Structure 1
Amino acid sequence: MKHWLAKASAVFLSATLLVSVLQASETVQAKGQEANMVPSYEVKLLLDSTQVLDGNHSLTPAIQSEFSLSSPKQVNVEYFDTNNLNLDAQGWNVRFRKKENKDNYELNYKKRYAIQNEDIQAALTLANSEGFDITDDNYEAEVDWGYGKQTLSISLDKKVSTSLNGALGLPSEAVARGMLLDKLPGKLKDWSSSNWGKTQLQNSRAYGPVLASKYEGSWNGLEVDVEIWPIRDAAGTGVERIVEISFKTADYNDASTNRTALINSLNDKGWLVPADGLKTQLMLNRY
């Protein structure tokens, strides 16, 4: 009798769960809401500049050997926002970049969402409610996973050809802002009201530039990047070199497993800074 009751209860619970799932699906369909975006993952960890940089502010032979790093390439980067950082306050970052040996400027528009308690789906659902869903082929979703926190980044990249023949020069502030306005995506343009984003960008200025160095290498079967960003220090009188190692993967479990392994390896060598850092925020705060 008890066995029959247990089986009946299990069947009832299964049926109840199925009804709940179907009801939720019907509710989503009734609202016309698409599925959440599927993110990739980028693990980013800070390195101790006093341990991994030599007297010339280049990576030491030890770390270059550890990650089979190539010769560095330079990247010239600046961000655009108003004096009051109105774009950043709404979670938007607008970047203008020129890479060494590339014949185009790279324009990036990124919306960030904080991830609480590692609940990635909650952040994706919030983004969905604000217009970023799986049907949008223009934007890419990525979880930036640092030492202690995760951030959902949804970004759109644009390119503008240049005749610099690979040189690193950036155009004037006005010209760069004009390019960013010309390529401005609709979601940012009308973010909180009609033409809100356009107005903010029209009233923006450049933060930077910073000439960063990027080394490419490999570790544990993954492609890794190590970047050195010489950012103005907090006092505004010198330079603080931010060193970061990162890798990307499409799979959550791969990101999690390799992140733990990389943290342990860096910590054993005394290279790890056990803290989170956001280069974008430092530039917006210090320039």
Structure 2
Amino acid sequence: MDTPELDFFRDNWILRARLKLNKDQWEITYKKRFNFSEGQELQHLMDHAKELGFDLEDPTCKQEVDWSGADRTFDLSYEVKAKIVQADNLDEWRGILDENAPPMLKTQKWGERDFSAILTETRVLGPITAHKYKGQWSGFQESVEIWTVAGNSIVEISIEETGLEAAESSHRTMESLLLVQQKLLTIQHKISKTGWALDILQHPAKREDPFSLLLQGGFNLYFRHARPVGGSGDEDHLSELGEVQARQLGEILRNKKIPLQIPVLSSPVIRALQTAVLAFPNEGEVKTDERLPRVDGLLQVLEEKPELGTNQVLVAHYHTFKNQLQEFLDHIGLVILQPLGAEQGYRIIRQLDILQTSLVKYGS
């Protein structure tokens, strides 16, 4: 449940109802998340939660640190059970949520609006189908949860530990198992299951296969290089994760049979060139272009139309496209552009996290 503007989610609240198979009661959860930045003490977040009215001694208040990739949050959850007569009855949902909301949520303000006012604007977002499996792997007791929304899926592997030190150790081990042994990418930066699901539910166009558009050709595919080691110095090479990202990029484009103009163009800077060569390893598939690292030169390249029936791949750096992007361009982030010709500019068609999107239909 959320408003069209996602007021709850943007304020780090998640209001969710889950109905398990063969059960007649919904599990309704109110979850508040506090961002847990690097170097920050957990006690500081707990003290802040108390200042906001959370009773951390309340046995119904579940406390945990959610460690997802490089991101951590301190989560407080309240759960109640309720029978819903009609799953699509919006008024009934609003009444149940209002009746069972924790006190600090009822007293919170969103500008001039309080919780009751926000509820009048909420709607049911869903459904989301979930499957959860539990088992043991490499000494870990873990669960695998798959969420499916409008034919798209996301997978989360979870392990539970008591204490931050144990969690950090297990996190490093699990990341190594996934990346090194299984050649799988860990979840990307700033991605959450709930955020992913809401994004699809809010934007029906994102339910469509984004790769079908590229089959006709005529686009420039601008990629930011894969994740490097260290900062953003010109001599920085790719990290181990970045090498996996780059190889998977090439596999995805080949698997999807996207028609590409060869050679692909790469910035001469090491981290970009290394990305291009790992993605397109055959001789003659990559050509460096000195214009790509320069803003003035880049504009010239973006306006150039590819050969008929093909798409031109450009591997370069972080770029805002005159602040036209709606989201941060992460490593291997893709911007699909329609070039209009020399000195005619271009149109941004779509921004895409190709690694996340491709995991759903990879190999289909």
Q: Work out whether the TM-score is over 0.5.
A: yes
CA shift, 1:86, in A, is 1.7
Could you say if the C-alpha distance between residues 195 and 188 of structure 1 is closer, same or farther in structure 2, counting changes exceeding 3 Å? farther
Matches of residues 240-251 of structure 1 in structure 2 within 5 Å?
240-251=152-163
Matches of residues 215-230 of structure 1 in structure 2 within 5 Å?
215-230=133-148
- Give the residue type in structure 2 aligned to 1:209: P
Q: For residue 104 of structure 2, what is the aligned residue in structure 1? A: 187
Could you say if the C-alpha distance between residues 199 and 106 of structure 1 is closer, same or farther in structure 2, counting changes exceeding 3 Å? same
Q: TM-score, normalised by structure 1?
A: 0.62
Do the aligned residues in 2 keep the contact of 1:98 with 1:105 (CA within 8 Å)?
A: yes
Q: For residue 130 of structure 1, what is the aligned residue in structure 2? A: 52
Give the secondary structure class of the aligned counterpart of 1:208. coil
Give the secondary structure class of the aligned counterpart of 2:129. strand
Give the secondary structure class of the aligned counterpart of 2:4. coil
CA shift, 1:261, in A, is 0.9
Q: For residue 105 of structure 1, what is the aligned residue in structure 2? A: 26
How far, CA to CA, are the matches of 2:100 and 2:51 in structure 1? 24
Q: TM-score, normalised by structure 2?
A: 0.50
Note if 1:280 corresponds to 2:194.
yes
How far, CA to CA, are the matches of 2:125 and 2:64 in structure 1? 24
2:72 pairs with 150, 167, 183, which one? 150
Do the aligned residues in 2 keep the contact of 1:82 with 1:205 (CA within 8 Å)?
A: yes
CA shift, 1:229, in A, is 1.3
1:264 pairs with 162, 176, 184, which one? 176
Q: For residue 284 of structure 2, what is the aligned residue in structure 1? A: none
Do the aligned residues in 2 keep the contact of 1:207 with 1:283 (CA within 8 Å)?
A: no
Structure 1: gaps (5+ residues): 1-79, 164-168, 233-238
CA shift, 1:274, in A, is 5.0
Task: Name whichever structure is richer in strand by fraction.
Answer: 1
Give the secondary structure class of the aligned counterpart of 1:209. coil
Q: For residue 200 of structure 1, what is the aligned residue in structure 2? A: 118
Do the aligned residues in 1 keep the contact of 2:16 with 2:29 (CA within 8 Å)?
A: yes
CA shift, 1:189, in A, is 0.9
Could you say if the C-alpha distance between residues 153 and 231 of structure 1 is closer, same or farther in structure 2, counting changes exceeding 3 Å? same
Give the secondary structure class of the aligned counterpart of 1:273. coil
How far, CA to CA, are the matches of 1:222 and 1:176 in structure 2? 38
Higher relative contact order (CA 8 A, sep 6+): 1
Q: What's the RMSD between the two structures over aligned residues?
A: 2.4
Q: For residue 95 of structure 1, what is the aligned residue in structure 2? A: 16
CA shift, 1:162, in A, is 6.2
Give the secondary structure class of the aligned counterpart of 1:207. coil
Could you say if the C-alpha distance between residues 201 and 222 of structure 1 is closer, same or farther in structure 2, counting changes exceeding 3 Å? farther
How far, CA to CA, are the matches of 1:217 and 1:170 in structure 2? 32
Q: Deviations over 1:231-270 (max 9, x none)?
A: 34xxxxxx33111100222222221111111111111211
How far, CA to CA, are the matches of 1:152 and 1:114 in structure 2? 6
Could you say if the C-alpha distance between residues 134 and 210 of structure 1 is closer, same or farther in structure 2, counting changes exceeding 3 Å? closer
**Count of matched residue pairs:** 197
Give the secondary structure class of the aligned counterpart of 2:57. coil
Give the secondary structure class of the aligned counterpart of 2:115. helix
Q: Deviations over 1:126-180 (max 9, x none)?
A: 21221224333331211110111101111100001468xxxxx944333333322
